Amino acid sequence: MNCGLIIPTLNAGEQFRTLLEQICAQKLPTRKLIVDSESTDDTVAAAKSFGLDVLTIPRKSFNHGATRQFALERLLKTSPLDVIIFLTQDVLLRDENSLAALVKIFDADSTVGLSYGRQLPHANATNEAKFLRAFNYPPESQLRSFDDRKIFGLKTAFASNSFAAYKISALQDVGGFPSHVPLCEDMFVAAKMLMHGWKIFYAADAQVFHSHNYTAAQEFRRYVEIGKFHAQEPWIRETFGSAEGAGKKFVVMKLSALAKKNPLDCFGAIFRDAAKFFGYRLGRLKS
What pLDDT, in 10s, does the model give residues 144-165? 999 999 999 999 999 999 999 9
197 and 223 within one domain: no
188 and 243 within one domain: no
CB 10 within 8 A of CB 37: yes
Q: Residue 287: its pLDDT value, please?
A: 60
Q: Which of 209, 231, 251 is the last residue of a domain?
A: 209
Q: Residue 244: its pLDDT value, please?
A: 56
220 and 162 within one domain: no
66 and 46 within one domain: yes
42 and 95 within one domain: yes
Q: Residue 158: its pLDDT value, please?
A: 94
197 and 100 within one domain: yes
In the structure, what pLDDT confidence band is assigned to residue 286 with cuts at 50, 70 and 90?
A: low
147 and 192 within one domain: yes
Q: Which of 209, 226, 258 is the last residue of a domain?
A: 209
64 and 143 within one domain: yes
The DSSP element (H or E) to which 265 belongs, if any, is helix 265-286
Alpha-carbon gap, residue 213 to 221, rounded angstroms = 14
190 and 235 within one domain: no
How, if at all, do strands 199-209 and 112-120 pair? parallel
Q: Which of 96-100, 143-147, 191-195, 269-273 has the lowest mean pLDDT?
A: 269-273
CATH number, domain of 101, equals 3.90.550.10
What pLDDT, in 10s, does the model give residues 48-84? 999 999 999 999 999 999 999 999 999 999 889 999 9
Q: What is the mean pLDDT of residues 207-218?
A: 94
Range of the domain at 84: 3-209
Number of domains in the chain: 2
What pLDDT, in 10s, does the model give residues 99-109? 999 999 999 99
144 and 98 within one domain: yes
**Residue 209, helix vs strand vs coil:** strand
163 and 114 within one domain: yes
What pLDDT, in 10s, does the model give residues 246-257? 667 777 887 777
Examine the pLDDT at 245 and tell me if it is beyond 60: no
Q: Residue 42: its pLDDT value, please?
A: 95
* pTM recorded for the entire structure: 0.92
Burial class, 131, CB count within 10 angstroms (exposed 0-12 / middle 13-18 / buried 19+) = buried
108 and 16 within one domain: yes
Examine the pLDDT at 268 and tell me if it is beyond 90: no
Q: Which of 209, 235, 259 is the last residue of a domain?
A: 209
Alpha-carbon gap, residue 177 to 283, rounded angstroms = 22
Q: How far is CA 210 from the centre of its chain?
A: 10
